[in-house]
């Protein structure tokens, strides 16, 4: 029985067609990568989340106390809520800024060279360090920054404005600037797949520009819009650098909580429970995105 079970994968592989064997060989490295670097760490994190710390040592167990602590203790539940708020605002503003740029790239720029140049301008900010861009916005919004200097020179204000920095608005502004290219590329990928013949047929049938946009372009671009929104939401939700540099005392992100739990409090079980909750929220978000995309597709 044991020998037959050992030979089962080999026998199964031998019965495969050459095409299936080739696919299995190609899928083996990514599957191994997924198991070793994603599935196994998630399982280890989930295991840690059920234990507890005693005298600075991890004690294994199976308890939901860490999860209950997250939802009943203000700092943790409040940090998750504020992180979700900042991530949602980042996703909304990034999508609003990205959509016109993607529209221009997909429909207004017809020459390949010009489209490539515009595409390069979109991804050009990625060549700069994330930390440098965050510090740049801190310089712009600071009391002695570019914006305050301009307002003072125009005599709009008599003294530097301090409310521009160290608050939620400055964090959202910085994250929107940094993550908007992700939304641009996601929306552009959807707009580029819209057949030109479909738009020409709508024009031949007498549809105007706004009607074509609302009834054809916007519904067909919803998958890219949702994908860009999910990406920017996730990046804004888990960001640490921008809140640390530009956020105030009231801007408490879940990333800050995680760093304090792992680096200061040494509470790995609680940090693991927060990580599992974030993963569950990510799957729920992806599920909602898929549901919304199917609803839009059915209506089209």
Q: What is the pLDDT of residues 118-168, one digit of tens each?
A: 889 888 888 888 888 988 888 888 888 888 888 888 888 788 887 888 888
How many domains would you assign to the chain?
1
Report the percent of the chain where pLDDT is more than 70: 93
20 is a domain residue: no
202 is a domain residue: yes
List the CATH number of the domain containing 283.
Answer: 1.10.3720.10
For 273-291, write each residue's pLDDT tens digit.
999 999 898 889 888 888 8
Residue 57's pLDDT band (cuts 50, 70, 90)? confident
117 is a domain residue: yes
215 is a domain residue: yes
* Alpha-carbon span 96 to 56, nearest angstrom: 48
* Alpha-carbon span 287 to 275, nearest angstrom: 19
118 is a domain residue: yes
Axis crossing angle, helix 268-299 with helix 40-49, rounded to the nearest 10: 120
Asked if 270 contacts 72 with a C-beta cutoff of 8 angstroms, the reply is: no
279 is a domain residue: yes
- List 59's β-bridge partners, or say none: 52
Q: What's the whole-model pTM score?
A: 0.84
Q: Rounded to the nearest 5°, which phi and psi values hold at 40? A: -65, -45
Domain span holding position 139: 73-299
Token couple for 68? 């209950």
5 is a domain residue: no
148 is a domain residue: yes
Residue 276: CB atoms within 10 Å: 19
Long-range contacts of 199-202 (CB under 8 A, 24+ apart): none
For 69-88, write each residue's pLDDT tens digit.
998 888 888 899 999 999 99
């Amino acid at each position: 029985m044991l020998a037959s079970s050992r030979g089962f994968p080999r026998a199964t592989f031998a019965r495969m067609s050459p095409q299936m064997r080739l696919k299995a060989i190609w899928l083996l490295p990514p599957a191994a990568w997924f198991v070793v670097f994603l599935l196994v760490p998630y399982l280890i994190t989930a295991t840690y989340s059920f234990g507890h710390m005693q005298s600075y040592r991890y004690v294994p167990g199976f308890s939901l106390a860490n999860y209950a602590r997250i939802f009943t203790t203000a700092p943790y539940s409040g940090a998750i809520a504020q992180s979700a708020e900042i991530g949602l605002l980042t996703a909304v503003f990034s999508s609003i800024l990205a959509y016109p740029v993607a529209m221009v790239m997909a429909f207004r720029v017809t020459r390949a060279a010009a489209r490539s140049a515009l595409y390069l301008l979109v991804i050009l900010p990625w060549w700069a360090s994330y930390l440098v861009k965050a510090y740049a916005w801190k310089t712009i919004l600071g009391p002695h920054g570019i914006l305050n200097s301009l307002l003072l020179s125009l005599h709009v204000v008599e003294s530097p404005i301090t409310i521009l920095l160290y608050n939620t608005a400055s964090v959202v502004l910085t994250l929107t600037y940094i993550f908007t290219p992700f939304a641009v590329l996601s929306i552009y990928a959807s707009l580029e797949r819209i057949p030109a013949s479909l738009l020409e047929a709508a024009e031949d049938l007498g549809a105007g520009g706004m009607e074509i946009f609302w009834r054809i372009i916007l519904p067909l671009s919803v998958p890219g819009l949702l994908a860009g929104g999910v990406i920017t939401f996730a990046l804004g939700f888990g960001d640490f650098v921008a809140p640390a540099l530009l956020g105030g005392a009231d801007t408490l992100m879940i990333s800050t909580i995680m760093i304090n739990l792992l680096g200061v409090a040494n509470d790995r079980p609680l940090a693991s429970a927060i990580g599992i909750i974030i993963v569950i929220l990510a799957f729920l978000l992806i599920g909602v995105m898929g549901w919304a995309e199917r609803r839009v597709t059915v209506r089209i």
